[in-house]
Structure 1
């Protein structure tokens, strides 16, 4: 028998993908399934980005790039931080990666040693725990309440910090909750971690999808934190597998040392195309799409409440609703099964995002068209 590494047992199963597989099986049987499960925008890359890709391919720009990414793209990202998110950063500190997953993997392997622990909120995106595990460290989930917007607080970080704690991995806005960390609290969090000699890894993948406030990068509070971002969500390029990280200057060389071996380089054609994401033409499209996501959120929230699907904290970003279904007398697993098989609506049970609320919460992604969301409500009204 083949013997597998212990990390396989420690790694978390990503149940959202299991839901997606079950939904696909029903589609193959002829069922019309509306997916509110997977976090993938129904929008695709704007025409200007696709056209740029074609021109790059025709020009033969498909060879290896530098391990840290092509400089025109790194510069475009740095300029975007200044113009849209209020942070002045050196393009040399921008590292382009094979998706945000590549960035998280590199960050964890650069910063963490076996025996280290990283504090994360419960609920949290499950794959983040797996990046920590694969670096030989241990994720410690800290239950966070609705009063805390389901986000880690400075007080809880101080309470749960031990001599094994290396730092925190937080997200604002968050998957699965769609909630952001209040700026005053984020200041306290960064200060609390810094006082203990720890590192802040900040997931800003959904920063472009903020609805109730002007987005500002956490780099405006501390330029020494590690920030993770992606072209997948706001820029609608999930399958292009392109992301980036912004790191302190002294971290660039260690990351490059690993990246050169582990991934060689990010996808080169995707890099050339992504430069066009920052043109006025593309940004206007992205703004219209952001407003479309907000419209979908505002359509669903009051209707969920009428159906007994309670949303404890209004999501102010991303495209997720984290909802309490306990008044229906079912576990989240049972509820998700009922919706899928009786209503043809796929949602993710809370089990994916940590044990604290596994039984009573579900995650709903509204990254699907508004007319389909109208149909979702009609279907739920019939069975609930």
Structure 2
């Protein structure tokens, strides 16, 4: 059996998917914890909050009632209507429930979008840095992700000028995230409108990942859906709604494309989890929304603590994050021998300070060894303890 396994030929695309350093560091941290080390995790982007009681109760009731069978590939009608109501209440947008496709997490939504829109050899523009899985979704359908270096002057985001300059004969569209992982920065609404217009004029698509939009701290968020019905928007119940392991998200598509997306969803996924969907309907109850807003305020307070604390330690934060729960920090001035290599630095701080941080290597090719990503999706007490540990090591 071992000889047979070794003789199997993997598809070439597998070789183009890089290891996920976030998960590798998490495995190392778990090994150290098993050995008795008190590790503070600031690597994986997962809220320390879990689903609130109304959501848990709705899931339990669905299971008691036996509502655990397949649903429509597009999702429960009542959940799609609840999401449409959320867009109306939060953004003043009239999004027809028929345009909303409930998916097995935002990852499934992006898989559907790439399956529907990307042909072999097509190029898709995205910023560098960006969430690594986004480029792998494109590559999985034999497209070519084109990472455009986007630095602090651009808030680590694509600009309209970037899109115009890099749009070529094989470019099919743009894939954006606002707010972004790893930087926590958003694209200004006017800039996003210009990007969408450029793509539209060239017959291309605009896909916007808005999974962190509920966690916007400095201004009311504006959904990309405000800039045209031809824009595809991805969202999730993982971040603002604190349902990471439930694997539930949604995708909003142009009306004419719904039948094609339904066909793909039927064949690739059958449907999302029925129990998770019945639970998610309760996310939009007044009681649950009040809890989410309280938790959002807690995240904002954590950001307002951790950013100046990091700067006092020598980390440079060139762009203050306005959303999500990440800080993208320049480490070149910290007092540590490994300050010129964020990969080596995060390894050293894991073992020396027992704090998990993530190197920029996961997120692109534009000077990644200069940056680390830090997640403040953990308690205030742990954030304070992490800062004290780092201060002792970097003193």
User: Shorter-chain TM-score: which interval?
Assistant: over 0.9
Asked whether the 8 Å contact 1:12–1:127 carries over to 2, the reply is no
Q: Structure 2: where are the runs of 5+ without partners?
A: 1-6
**Cα distance, 1:12 vs structure 2:** 2.7
CA distance in 2 between counterparts of 1:357 and 1:259 reads 38
Are 1:336 and 2:342 an aligned pair?
Answer: no
**Cα distance, 1:330 vs structure 2:** 3.0
- Aligned counterpart in structure 2 of residue 352 of structure 1, from 362, 375, 395: 362
Residue number in structure 2 paired with 1:50: 56
SS for the counterpart of 1:359 is helix
Asked whether the 8 Å contact 1:76–1:278 carries over to 2, the reply is yes
**Cα distance, 1:85 vs structure 2:** 2.1
Residue number in structure 1 paired with 2:168: 162
- After superposition, the C-alpha distances for 1:186-223 in whole angstroms (9 at most, x for unaligned) are 11111111111110000000000000000121101112
**Cα distance, 1:184 vs structure 2:** 1.6
- After superposition, the C-alpha distances for 1:309-335 in whole angstroms (9 at most, x for unaligned) are 110000000000000001133310111
CA distance in 1 between counterparts of 2:215 and 2:123 reads 30
Are 1:177 and 2:183 an aligned pair?
Answer: yes
Residue number in structure 1 paired with 2:4: none
Residue number in structure 2 paired with 1:118: 124
1:30-109 map, 5 Å: 30-109=36-115
- After superposition, the C-alpha distances for 1:127-147 in whole angstroms (9 at most, x for unaligned) are 011110111111000000101
Kindly report structure 1 stretches of 4+ aligned residues shifted beyond 3 Å.
Answer: none
SS for the counterpart of 1:202 is strand
- After superposition, the C-alpha distances for 1:341-369 in whole angstroms (9 at most, x for unaligned) are 00000011000000102111000000000
RMSD: 0.7
- Aligned counterpart in structure 2 of residue 225 of structure 1, from 219, 231, 236: 231
Residue number in structure 1 paired with 2:139: 133
Are 1:278 and 2:284 an aligned pair?
Answer: yes
Residue number in structure 1 paired with 2:378: 368
CA distance in 2 between counterparts of 1:220 and 1:183 reads 9
CA distance in 1 between counterparts of 2:377 and 2:175 reads 25
Are 1:291 and 2:297 an aligned pair?
Answer: yes
CA distance in 2 between counterparts of 1:316 and 1:61 reads 39
**Cα distance, 1:338 vs structure 2:** 1.5
- After superposition, the C-alpha distances for 1:270-304 in whole angstroms (9 at most, x for unaligned) are 00010000000000000000000000000011111
TM-score (norm 2): 0.96
Are 1:27 and 2:37 an aligned pair?
Answer: no
SS for the counterpart of 1:139 is strand
TM-score (norm 1): 0.99
Q: Structure 1: where are the runs of 5+ without partners?
A: none
CA distance in 2 between counterparts of 1:185 and 1:101 reads 25
CA distance in 2 between counterparts of 1:10 and 1:334 reads 23
Are 1:259 and 2:269 an aligned pair?
Answer: no
CA distance in 1 between counterparts of 2:346 and 2:109 reads 32
**Cα distance, 1:88 vs structure 2:** 1.2
CA distance in 1 between counterparts of 2:172 and 2:256 reads 18
- Aligned counterpart in structure 2 of residue 198 of structure 1, from 198, 204, 207: 204
SS for the counterpart of 2:368 is coil
- Aligned counterpart in structure 2 of residue 16 of structure 1, from 22, 43, 49: 22
